[in-house]
Structure 1
Amino acid sequence: MKIRKHDPAFYAGDLFGEFYESERLDTSSRISLSALLPGMAVCVIVSCAALWLAQQYGFPAILAGLLLGLALHFLSDHPAVGEGLDFVSRHFLRIGIVLLGLQVSLDQIAQIGWAPFAGLIAIMAATFFAGLLGARVAGQGRYAGVLAGGATAICGASAALALYGVVGRDRLDQARFTLTLVGVALASAFALTVYPPIAGVLDLTDNQAGYLIGSSIHDVAQAIGGGYAVSDAAGGQATVIKLARVALLAPVVALVALWLGQSGGSDEGNAAHAKPIWRRIAVPWFIAVFLALVVLGSVIAVPAIVAERGLEMSKFLLLLAVTATAMRSKLSVLLEAGWRPLVPVFAATLASFAVALLVTVTLIE
């Protein structure tokens, strides 16, 4: 099934900044600055409104941007706005994540400890198998469960795309793949809305709140944004935990490839399998730059003013990216598909939060 630009599925993606079909189909065309400015301007205005609401009413800015973006999603239907919103969603988010590397050091990662790291592995394993169980209950097949469980356990649609290259279109049609992307994005958006307040109601420490959010929210930006919605300390912890999950993308995809074996007869499945394994499981470039800054900051002392300004800029870029992606969300595809294809995603989401909460209150101080 070929996805065309007017199809809502064309814009399916996660807050990791990966609008996959858009990048794959439009790489040959160059977008001028004049085509980007209207959408960028709309995004900045809505994000500034979110900041004002946050300051006036003590509302988390990331959450305000998400809700305002969803409420104003109809603006993205205007042809002059869509390109700019896509640009912000992809590139501003990546720069924001890179700048977060100034806030984390290898010492902080080492401080996670063996027990919390083992707990993180347990959370991811429970999430993955919950996706498989949900798919079986809903009659969706194990490949849909692999996709939903893996995407929820690791990093949202980025992991879904990597896993889909292993599963293949002959085993799971592209329509259900696209619906999984949308379901993961919505489940993660719901988590961003609900998990930070739950952490407050449970009176979790910043360390616990950061661990809970970083280990249970699917997409990178939403996990980071959810952590910073609690506090800067919780945001730093959520960043470290979330990046640890992202780092596990390569071994998880490799294990799934070994478990499922080669894709079947489709050209796309065979082409995906023909690629070297290192290309199918490679970490995105901006995550690599993030890790490079982490290493650099562990070797040399980053001036406090640089780290502070970097954090402010990063949080604003993340707000812009969340707002733009929310405005680009297309919900009609979910209404047309019914509820069964979403069961694996929501089963994995529920298991992720339940096990993460158990690990948090048991192992994290």
Structure 2
Amino acid sequence: MFPGFAVSVLVAATAQFLSEHYGAPAMLLALLLGLALNFLADKGTRTAPGIEFTARTVLRLGVALLGARISVDMLAGLGGPAIALVIAGVVLTIGFALVASRFVGRKWRFALLTGGSVAICGASAAMAIAAVLPRHEKSERDLVFTVLCVTVLSTVAMVIYPMLAQVFHFDARDSGVFLGGTIHDVAQVVGAGFSISPETGDTATLVKLIRVSMLAPVVLCFSLVIRQMGLADEIVGGKRPPLMPGFVIGFLVLAAANSVGLIPQIVAEWAGGLSRWALLIAIAAVGIKTSLGRMVEVGAGAIVLIVAETVFLGVFIVAGLHFMG
């Protein structure tokens, strides 16, 4: 396993270095660098087994460790209406994705993948949801396409959304709810929030973590519905997705432990940093596994769908903030 894992770590470290020096998102850079090294994932190469292991197991470790950043206490500080608005945004965006996908010729798997990633936490959610969807011959391609799109859209939103918050005359708190409730990836939420003010940055991060906390119940619901409707049997060369994936259990256990104060603050911060690195290494491996030529096959309809989901979520959160006064 070591050669493939080592290559993935090297790509992730390179992406982080470039991100720190040139300002581009590390996730996006890891994905693009990985795509350029697709030949390392060819069958028969020494690196192929380790790349496969990293894309699957290290990814799940990263998602599980996200739970250490979640606690019940953080919900109380935001207030019921704002929490309800954020949760409604997650649920309705996924529902919108299922409806809109039919108009662009995409199937339910792609709708759940893109809708969940836009609604919850971008690349992290996309990779977690992909782990419980029935696999088919285009699973890897759809995952990389989704991660690429939501990362690019997050970067664009990080620049544009703070200006929109001023146009809408939001105060610091509402700006934080707007940014945290609409931007896909955590890093871009932090960047956009603190570009306005420290208060906005703190609120945006809190709201974003509430969206992240929706990852476990959403993944579990997807798994239950897929099994209940018999869709888990629609598989090409794979096996039934798990009812309750181990990484989701890990996410919930860590979140519960953090809620009752069993995880010291310094350990939670360490787990958050380790989670970020695990996800960065995993997305590098996913990029290496994916052929750039196959990405072109996705089509314009898929791009339209992800952009429409992003716009829908943004409009919903803005409307909700105005409705709450």
* Same fold, TM-score > 0.5, yes or no: yes
Shift of 1:316: 1.4
**Corresponding position of 1:83:** 49
C-alpha distance 58-134 of structure 1, shift in aligned 2 (>3 A): closer
| Secondary structure at 2:244 match in 1 | coil
Q: Specify the alignment match of 1:150 in structure 2.
A: 112
What residue is the counterpart of 1:200 in the other structure?
Answer: 159
Q: Answer yes or no: is the 8 Å Cα contact 2:59–2:127 preserved in 1.
A: no
Q: Tell me if 1:50 matches 2:15.
A: yes
1:308 equivalent to 2:308? Answer no
CA distance in 2, matches of 1:334, 1:66: 12
Matched residues in 2 for 1:94 and 1:239: separation?
A: 18
1:238 is the counterpart of 2:208: yes
Which SS does the other structure have where 1:74 is aligned?
helix
Number of residue pairs the alignment of both structures matches: 287
2:246 to 285, 294, 297: 285
**Is 1:357 the equivalent of 2:314?**
yes
Q: Is the alpha carbon distance of 1:161 and 1:59 closer, same or farther for their aligned partners in structure 2, counting shifts above 3 Å? A: closer
Quick one: which amino acid aligns to residue 325 of structure 1?
Answer: V
Q: Once the two structures are aligned, what percentage of the paired residues are identical?
A: 23
Tell me: CA distance 1:158–1:63, structure 2 relative to 1, closer, same or farther (3 Å).
Answer: closer
- Does the 8 A contact of 1:226 with 1:235 survive in 2? no
Q: What secondary structure, in the 3-state scheme, does the structure 2 residue paired with 1:105 have?
A: coil
Does the alignment pair 1:103 with 2:93? no
Structure 1 position 124 matched with structure 2 position 94: yes
Go from structure 1 to structure 2 and tell me whether the alpha carbon gap of 1:240 and 1:44 turns closer, same or farther (over 3 Å shift).
same
Distance 2:130 2:286 in 1: 18
2:243 match: secondary structure:
coil
In structure 2, stretches of 5+ residues that fail to align are: 117-124, 166-174, 195-200
**Residues 190 and 115 (structure 1), Cα distance of their counterparts in 2 relative to 1, 3 Å cut:** closer
Q: CA deviation at 1:52?
A: 1.6
Match of 1:326 in 2: 287
Contact map agreement 1:60 1:229 (CA 8 A) in 2:
no
Taking the TM superposition and a 5 Å limit, the aligned residue runs for 1:178-197 are: 178-179=137-138, 182-197=141-156
Q: Which amino acid aligns with 1:183?
A: D
1:187 Cα offset (Å): 2.9
* Deviation at residue 129 of structure 1 after TM alignment: 0.3
Counting only pairs closer than 5 Å after superposition, residues 53-64 of structure 1 correspond to structure 2 as 53-64=18-29
Amino acid at match of 2:74: Q
In structure 1, the gaps of 5 or more residues are 1-35, 165-173, 218-222
Letter in 2 for 1:87: F
In 1, the alpha carbon distance for the partners of 2:273 and 2:298 equals 41
Q: How far apart in 1 are the matches of 2:272 and 2:127?
A: 25
CA distance in 2, matches of 1:269, 1:95: 27
Whether 1:298 and 2:259 are equivalent positions in the alignment is yes
After superposition, what is the alpha-carbon deviation per residue over 1:97-138, rounded to whole angstroms, capped at 9, x for unaligned?
222222110233564522322232221211110012222xxx
Q: 1:257 to 1:327 in 2, by over 3 A?
A: closer
For 1:363 and 1:196, locate their aligned partners in 2 and report how far apart those are by CA, in whole Å. 23
Residue 250 (structure 1) shift: 4.4
Alignment CA distance shift 1:126-1:198 (3 Å): same
Structure 2 vs 1, CA of residues 65 and 80 (structure 1 numbering), >3 Å: closer, same or farther? same
How many Å apart are 1:353 and its aligned residue? 0.8
Q: Per-residue deviation at 1:41?
A: 1.6
Cα deviation for residue 58 of structure 1 reads 2.7
* TM-aligned CA deviation for residue 47 of structure 1: 1.7
SS at match of 2:24: coil
Residues 128 and 348 in structure 1, CA contact (< 8 A), matched pair in contact too: no
The alpha carbon displacement at 1:355 in A equals 0.8
Deviations 1:325-350 (A, max 9, x none): 11111233455x574xx73x445323
Cα separation, partners in 2 of 1:68 and 1:114, compared to 1, 3 Å: same
CA distance in structure 2 between the aligned counterparts of 1:92 and 1:189, rounded to whole angstroms: 19
Which of 50, 74, 92 is the equivalent residue of 2:58?
Answer: 92
Contact 2:54 2:282 in 1 (8 A): yes
CA RMSD of aligned residues (A): 3.5
Q: Which residue identity is paired with 2:255?
A: V
